[in-house]
Amino acid sequence: MKFSTALSALALIATSTPSNAFAPTTSLSLGKAQSHRAQRIGLQMSADSNDMVKVSSTALKSSTLDSATAERSTVDIQQQAEEELLNAFEIEQQKSYLDDGFVFGLEGSGLERPKGKVANVVVEGDNLETQPYQVAMVGGTFLGHAAFASLAISQILQQNGGDVATTAVQTLLVTLSSWVLADLGSGILHWSVDNYGNGRTPIMGNIIAAFQGHHSAPWTITQREFGNNVHKLCIPFGLPTMALISTLAGPENGSVTLFFTVFCALEILSQEFHKWSHMTKKEVPSWVNSLMDIGLTIGRVPHAQHHIAPYDGNYCIVSGLCNKSLDESGFFRRLEHIVYNLNGIESNAWKLDAKLRARTLRGEYRLEN
């Protein structure tokens, strides 16, 4: 039954039945916005509501029913109408992965947090099985990145007049600087897809839905194989992007091409680093634990702090090196304030935490621990 149909039936039953026929045992708390809506549509009639009124009238007027039976019949009809009203309202309020903030807070999102470490795939058409096209996409992307990196290093070597030592040092410095900025880039990407857009957003829709849905069952990512886990990020950070950058940089700027090759590769790999941070030490190879221990990839404890509602910090997932400075400086709150001033759109973190919203609008950007 439609929301308006159920509400109409309930209104008509309440106004057409004697006051002593109801026991004051049920009340509906619809909230201010919902009450306004109820007032607007409460008087609309439909065929379904007319049928319900006819049923109640027949039950009350039947000469074969005594007053006690009629009263019970009326109460039953009222309760049925209320249940249908609430069910219709809940369905109408549920959101899908195509809607803004479809899992944040979980209530009314249409998603339930599974009990235990049960996988929960929220994006329609997604699954945990690695598909051949994913393997081809990821393999082709990294082979292409390797080709761009080789080309860039050869260009740097040529610029250095064939000096191998100088080229090696320059390559190392470019790689390290790219690693640091890739961590920053992963944080900005993570912040943006956690807080804005939905499954309908062009190009990034599936990534947005996957990141937001991740908060409903974070352990799901641990059940994905490499290709299944990272293939979505091959779209924004894949070969077309690198081909454009390399063309714009030209052969005289091999360092630029190398920087962005490493940057794009790390952005794709960040999702795998992210997966490791949700796994125990026993679930990953020893070399993965070593990478975490020396700070090359995001650790378990730092990332666990991100998964505390309203998910307002610790966004960087390459190494996590930038998280502390970004959160203490209020970097992301400043960005949210700018976005709000430009178009009036609130971040999902604001929707979850009214105090965070108020502090940000007052210009208090530093993230409180």
pTM score: 0.70
- Residue 213 pLDDT: 80
The token pair that represents 326 in the structure block: 């970004």
d(CA 220, CA 60): 55
- Residue 362 pLDDT: 95
Q: How confident is the model at residue 134 (pLDDT cuts 50, 70, 90)?
A: very high
- Residue 26 pLDDT: 36
Q: How confident is the model at residue 74 (pLDDT cuts 50, 70, 90)?
A: low
More confident residue, 126 or 155: 155
Please check the confidence at residue 13 and state whether its pLDDT lies above 50.
no
Least confident window among 7-16, 61-70, 207-216, 323-332:
7-16
Alpha carbon distances (Å) from 142 to 145, 180, 233: 5, 20, 12
The token pair that represents 3 in the structure block: 């929301």
Largest CA distance in the chain: 108
Count Cβ neighbours within 10 Å for each residue of 194-203 and write b for 16 or more, e otherwise.
Answer: bbbbbbebee
Q: How confident is the model at residue 123 (pLDDT cuts 50, 70, 90)?
A: confident
Least confident window among 44-48, 172-176, 315-319:
44-48
Least confident window among 31-45, 182-196, 257-271:
31-45
- Residue 340 pLDDT: 97
- Residue 114 pLDDT: 59
Those residues with Cβ within 8 angstroms of residue 159's Cβ, 6 or more apart along the chain or in another chain: 252, 254
- Residue 217 pLDDT: 80
Please check the confidence at residue 147 and state whether its pLDDT lies above 50.
yes
Alpha carbon distances (Å) from 317 to 71, 229, 284, 366: 63, 14, 17, 20
Total residues found in the chain within this entry = 369
d(CA 9, CA 50): 7
The values of phi and psi at residue 124, to 5°, are: -60, 130
Least confident window among 56-65, 253-262, 285-294, 332-341:
56-65
Alpha carbon distances (Å) from 269 to 212, 229, 233, 251, 277: 19, 9, 9, 27, 13
- Residue 94 pLDDT: 53
- Residue 97 pLDDT: 57
**Helices (H), ranges, 217-330:** 226-230, 239-249, 254-277, 286-293, 300-306, 323-329
- Residue 125 pLDDT: 78
More confident residue, 44 or 98: 98
Least confident window among 95-99, 121-125, 355-359:
95-99
Q: What is the 3-class SS of 61-124, one letter each residue?
A: HCCCCCHHHHHHHHHHHHHHHHHHHHHHHHHHHCCCCCCCCCCCCCCCCCCCCCCCCCCCCCCC
Cα dihedral angle (266, 271, 272, 274), rounded to 10 degrees? 110
More confident residue, 227 or 33: 227
Those residues with Cβ within 8 angstroms of residue 231's Cβ, 6 or more apart along the chain or in another chain: 134, 137, 138
Q: Is 286 helix (H, G, I), strand (E, B) or coil?
A: helix
Q: Taking residues 24-28, what's their average pLDDT?
A: 35
Q: How confident is the model at residue 274 (pLDDT cuts 50, 70, 90)?
A: very high
Q: How confident is the model at residue 16 (pLDDT cuts 50, 70, 90)?
A: very low
Q: Is 318 helix (H, G, I), strand (E, B) or coil?
A: coil
Please check the confidence at residue 81 and state whether its pLDDT lies above 90.
no
d(CA 257, CA 246): 5
d(CA 263, CA 266): 5
Closest CA to 110 of 207, 199, 32, 10: 199
- Residue 350 pLDDT: 92
Say which amino acid occupies 191. W
Contact 10, 85 (CB under 8 A): yes
**Locate tokens 């219709």: which residue?**
88
Contact 268, 185 (CB under 8 A): no
pLDDT tens string 58-71: 444 444 445 655 56
Those residues with Cβ within 8 angstroms of residue 291's Cβ, 6 or more apart along the chain or in another chain: 297
Report the chain's mean pLDDT, rounded to a whole number.
79
DSSP state of 131: P
Contact 171, 179 (CB under 8 A): no
Q: Is the peptide bond before 310 cis (omega within 30 degrees of 0)?
A: yes
pLDDT tens string 224-257: 999 999 999 999 999 999 999 999 999 999 999 9
Please check the confidence at residue 175 and state whether its pLDDT lies above 70.
yes
Percent of the chain with pLDDT over 90: 56
CB atoms within 10 A of CB 166: 14
